[in-house]
Amino acid sequence: MKLGLMGLLLLLLCGCAGVPKGIEPVTGFDLPRYLGTWYEIVRLDHSFERGLSHVSAEYSMRPDGGVRVLNKGRDATDWKTAEGRAYFVGDAGTGHLKVSFFGPFYGAYIIFDLDKENYQTAYVCGPNRKYLWLLSRTPVLPQDEIDRFIRQSFALGFDTDALIFPDQKR
């Protein structure tokens, strides 16, 4: 599966579960409230997602206490999926997980901003500033929320000029 290979590439590129300097994972994180479907509103481009639209991630519990990650996206001809697993790096109340789509290789999944009241938006990055996503419970967000994400990401040193806005129209 193309998306599975893309996930492998992500892990090889990331190779670690560390947190970029100057970025703090959210605290007071509540995994049960985070589970379910999230839509990708904005991202930095990477080969493992290049050309994909209608991108979403579904999070559910695994029998071993970890999180099942099911990523889905559409290229020009077909739907692609990749299944992975995620585990907390430290305290379960901190939004810092490690995720793997292949074998023992893990990459960081850091939630650095979260709508804690309603769990409707999440700002996520990887182990460095090359990986960045704005996730939402809905396929469309108001422009002011997107602008807030861009401002905050820019202030944290992300290349906001390179952001991709994948099509989420159904």
Residue 39 inside a domain? The answer is yes
- Residue 1's pLDDT band (boundaries 50, 70, 90)? very low
pLDDT on residue 9: 43
Count CA within 13 A, CB hemisphere, residue 24: 4
In-domain check, residue 101: yes
In a domain, 82, yes or no: yes
Q: What CATH number is attached to the domain comprising 96?
A: 2.40.128.20
| Whether the predicted pLDDT of 48 surpasses 90 | no
Cα 25 to chain centroid distance, Å, stands at 13
HEC letters along 93-152: CECEEEEEEECCEEEEEEEEEECCCCCCEEEEECCCCCCEEEEECCCCCCHHHHHHHHHH
What per-residue confidence (pLDDT) applies to 102? 83
Question: What does the radius of gyration of the chain's CA atoms come to, in whole angstroms?
Answer: 15
- Given this model, what pLDDT does residue 3 score? 47
Compute the mean pLDDT over every residue in the chain, rounded to the nearest whole number: 90
Q: Identify the domain containing residue 71 by its residue range.
A: 2-15+27-164
| pLDDT for residue 89 | 95
Q: Is residue 133 part of a domain?
A: yes
- For residue 21, tell me if it sits in a domain: no
Assigned domain for 170 exists: no
The per-residue pLDDT for 57 is 96
Q: Which long-range contacts (CB under 8 A, 24 or more apart) does 160-167 make?
A: 162/44, 162/45, 163/42, 163/43, 163/44, 163/132, 164/42, 164/43, 164/44, 164/45, 165/41, 165/42, 166/40, 166/41, 166/43, 166/49, 166/52, 166/53, 166/54, 166/55, 166/73, 167/53, 167/54
> Per-residue pLDDT for 6 more than 50?
no
pLDDT tens readout for residues 124-154? 999 999 999 999 999 999 999 999 999 999 9
Q: pTM for the complete prediction? A: 0.88
In a domain, 22, yes or no: no
Taking only the tens place, the pLDDT of each residue in 49-85 is 888 999 999 999 999 999 999 999 999 899 999 999 9
Predicted local confidence at residue 170, as pLDDT: 62
Domain annotation covers residue 169 = no
pLDDT of residue 155: 97
Looking at the 3D structure of the chain, how many domains does it have? Answer: 1
Residue 27 pLDDT more than 60? yes
